[in-house]
Homo-oligomer: A and B are copies of this chain.
């Protein structure tokens, strides 16, 4: 059973003051902390400084309007004196002993102004917190968008000065002013300071401490706070000690696309005041639907059993008696309840699910297997043999293929790449189920697995199976096969060199023989994930960003949306790159039946994605889908896997990282180019992306750019005999899938007039580097 999320509580200055007055023990903090822990809170947050410090700081640093020059000079003298001797007076801080600070998350003074180039006060607080062995401090939000770069610069400076301190930026989940009049009024208890002002109207620096939201500020967008966060973490260069404290005070809409971007961000705390709860019919506190589902998603966002990857939910005001029934504990009990009843939590704790199988592997980067170059270990085979779905589907495919042969025909099956024998065993079962006569050749080049095969041959299979040792690209087989069964697929379909290996194995398939799989396709989607970006660049060498990784995605966000609103320029959320078919009917072969060069296995694709909400591109998610036989397949395509091979465990998606993040505004379009390249010794991928914005307005000679025509989205593959157009309906779905948008997009697209409308035009706004491993790390040896 996975552990649940941590809960925390917020101590306030009045609470601390009240406790100090009613108790005679020396430390109200220790009393309150142990009270909080007895109520089940694992984290205690409290402000580091008191009103005395606020008063001194205000007198020194917040000058009057300049009308009184003498007063200004006096204040500046005090400030300069403080800067030369930057210490607190005893009554200016809440905590003074190590014991009080244990397990505490500090909250930096909310009234601090981090927008100026002067970050003395924050540095002083952090130095004091570090002195007390406090490892995490929550910072107040930037005051507005206009000052965010200065705020971020100051935070970056603090991260460098305090190398063991984690800083967490408090931000409202969106700018609530935009919804004023649209949704319920904001709760009274919401502190304007906490929410910050996202108004672009500049406040006069150093003059206004509290609410500087001006009533005439123009509306801002729903992405505004995320955009601020992106500036801050970018300026801090994705520092892993910098996280978010997301303030859930504003009411959340249900199922709104703009919230999903937070999933890809480093959220350390969720700030949840009791006032955000509503009363259910009985009077107990419950959360509004939108907030409920966001918290559920966030609790699982990282899904990892490592607790540091799950946000801590900080409750505040739970002891204020805002709700009629349940008392203080009702809030945390309710949160535990919604966590444990969430589908994601249950999947994680149910054996047989991918979520359960993948525990500990979420967002963990693994180098893809290279089973052609490396001989796999027995334990690797064992892991993948546990997949209950993959071998079931293979058996069904073989069964139907066998049935399609005449009843009196003795069927020759060749298992190319037999490993430890699971497909041989399934072939035998399929043949038996079909009531047919068959002989099976099992080809394997891994000398170690070949020992296991010999064991099973003796113990289980007998004369119905012939073992052959050798590489399927070179070995000679005694007779040609009716059915060639192989499982050489990678997460991206062809990335474990299935096309190249089957080019060799197809020699011993009869001209009318069947290959299982008969085809496979590679699919891509643009991805945002601060965590994966950081993981990929951790390695010392640049090559770490030139290779794709196998990853069980968790804290990621697919940036693309359905492109149907783009006049046919953009395809669906996840798009097909290319296809390989077996057997290849058009091959140019030498006398031995082998291709002369590997150029026919080169591929390329250019995909247009629609980006509905602003986000940062960190990489590409790669998936595959294979047709085994007829309508039996394997798929890790996020929209189709559940219908084709639900609960299949063997493949996590591929992650193609980008070296530098690429910012994508709302309603932009992303053109992704990807190549599968080959020479006589190697296969590798290269990838690149360009961003465009569709601008509507008067066309002007100086800025006019043509829209790409719909037909141009997919350029020629390297093969002379090109594959059928992508986005044709998948053979894996029958007619009942006609309302599946992704499989029918192509038809809509070709019907769009290829002429460009006069108004809108695409403007290029950015691009990534080309990722090209060349002859370096990430090619796959042939």
Interface string of A763-782 (1 = CB under 8 A from B): 11111011010110000000
Of the candidates B221, B698, B705, the one whose C-beta lies within 8 Å of that of A701 is: B221
Shortest CB-to-CB span from A223 to chain B, Å, is 8
Of the candidates B691, B704, B720, the one whose C-beta lies within 8 Å of that of A72 is: B720
**B716 and A767 within 8 A (CB):** no
Roughly how many angstroms separate A640 CA and B521 CA in the complex, as a whole number? 62
Interface set, chain A 275-311, CB cutoff 8 A to B: none
Let me know if A224 is at the binding interface, CB within 8 A.
yes
- A200: chain B residues within 8 A (beta carbon): 706-709, 712
Let me know if A750 is at the binding interface, CB within 8 A.
no
Let me know if A258 is at the binding interface, CB within 8 A.
yes
Let me know if A375 is at the binding interface, CB within 8 A.
no
**A586 and B73 within 8 A (CB):** yes
Roughly how many angstroms separate A80 CA and B590 CA in the complex, as a whole number? 10
- A708: chain B residues within 8 A (beta carbon): 145-146, 200
Tally of A interface residues using CB under 8 Å: 112
Interface set, chain A 146-170, CB cutoff 8 A to B: 146-147, 149-150, 152-153, 156-157, 160
**B80 and A597 within 8 A (CB):** yes
Shortest CB-to-CB span from A73 to chain B, Å, is 7
Interface string of A77-109 (1 = CB under 8 A from B): 101110110000000000000000000000000
**A712 and B146 within 8 A (CB):** yes
**B764 and A665 within 8 A (CB):** yes
**A77 and B769 within 8 A (CB):** no
**A150 and B237 within 8 A (CB):** no
- A145: chain B residues within 8 A (beta carbon): 706, 708
Let me know if A30 is at the binding interface, CB within 8 A.
no
Most chain B CB atoms below 10 A, which of A118, A691, A755: A118
Let me know if A63 is at the binding interface, CB within 8 A.
yes
Roughly how many angstroms separate A602 CA and B718 CA in the complex, as a whole number? 58
Given known pairs A221-B702, A706-B219, the reply for A118 and B599 (CB within 8 Å) is yes
Let me know if A186 is at the binding interface, CB within 8 A.
no
Given known pairs A153-B688, A767-B234, the reply for A206 and B720 (CB within 8 Å) is yes
- A79: chain B residues within 8 A (beta carbon): 720
- A156: chain B residues within 8 A (beta carbon): 770, 772
- A763: chain B residues within 8 A (beta carbon): 665-666, 693
Let me know if A596 is at the binding interface, CB within 8 A.
yes
**B221 and A703 within 8 A (CB):** yes
**A220 and B704 within 8 A (CB):** yes
Roughly how many angstroms separate A332 CA and B160 CA in the complex, as a whole number? 60
Let me know if A217 is at the binding interface, CB within 8 A.
yes
Shortest CB-to-CB span from A413 to chain B, Å, is 30
Roughly how many angstroms separate A148 CA and B239 CA in the complex, as a whole number? 35
**A153 and B686 within 8 A (CB):** yes
Interface set, chain A 517-541, CB cutoff 8 A to B: none
Roughly how many angstroms separate A666 CA and B199 CA in the complex, as a whole number? 27
Interface string of A153-192 (1 = CB under 8 A from B): 1001100100000000000000000100000000000000
Let me know if A263 is at the binding interface, CB within 8 A.
no
Let me know if A588 is at the binding interface, CB within 8 A.
yes
Let me know if A696 is at the binding interface, CB within 8 A.
yes
Shortest CB-to-CB span from A180 to chain B, Å, is 12
**B596 and A84 within 8 A (CB):** yes
**A63 and B688 within 8 A (CB):** no
**B770 and A706 within 8 A (CB):** no
**A150 and B715 within 8 A (CB):** yes
Chain B minimum-CB-distance residue to A672: B149
- A227: chain B residues within 8 A (beta carbon): 764
Interface set, chain A 210-239, CB cutoff 8 A to B: 216-222, 224, 227, 231, 234-237
**B84 and A770 within 8 A (CB):** no
**B147 and A715 within 8 A (CB):** yes
Roughly how many angstroms separate A178 CA and B150 CA in the complex, as a whole number? 43
**A715 and B115 within 8 A (CB):** yes
Let me know if A116 is at the binding interface, CB within 8 A.
yes
- A698: chain B residues within 8 A (beta carbon): 696
**B72 and A721 within 8 A (CB):** yes
**B718 and A118 within 8 A (CB):** yes
Let me know if A201 is at the binding interface, CB within 8 A.
yes
Roughly how many angstroms separate A72 CA and B599 CA in the complex, as a whole number? 16
Roughly how many angstroms separate A767 CA and B232 CA in the complex, as a whole number? 11
Given known pairs A150-B604, A200-B707, A706-B217, the reply for A588 and B77 (CB within 8 Å) is yes
Most chain B CB atoms below 10 A, which of A120, A588, A613: A588
**A666 and B702 within 8 A (CB):** yes
Roughly how many angstroms separate A565 CA and B34 CA in the complex, as a whole number? 63
Let me know if A690 is at the binding interface, CB within 8 A.
yes
- A702: chain B residues within 8 A (beta carbon): 221-222, 258, 612-613, 666-667
- A77: chain B residues within 8 A (beta carbon): 588
Let me know if A725 is at the binding interface, CB within 8 A.
no
**B716 and A205 within 8 A (CB):** yes
Roughly how many angstroms separate A702 CA and B224 CA in the complex, as a whole number? 10
Given known pairs A715-B147, A766-B663, A766-B765, the reply for A83 and B599 (CB within 8 Å) is yes
Q: What are the 4 closest A-B residue pairs judged by CB atoms, nearest first?
A: A205-B716, A202-B712, A200-B706, A696-B697
Please give 19 more A-B residue pairs, beta carbons under 8 A apart, in addition to A117-B718, A202-B715, A667-B703. Answer: A76-B586, A76-B588, A117-B603, A117-B677, A153-B770, A156-B772, A201-B709, A202-B709, A204-B716, A205-B715, A217-B706, A218-B755, A222-B701, A227-B764, A231-B767, A237-B770, A663-B764, A665-B765, A691-B765
16 pairs from A and B in contact (CB 8 Å cutoff): A115-B715, A116-B716, A146-B606, A150-B673, A153-B686, A153-B688, A157-B774, A218-B706, A219-B706, A220-B704, A220-B706, A227-B764, A235-B769, A663-B766, A665-B703, A667-B703
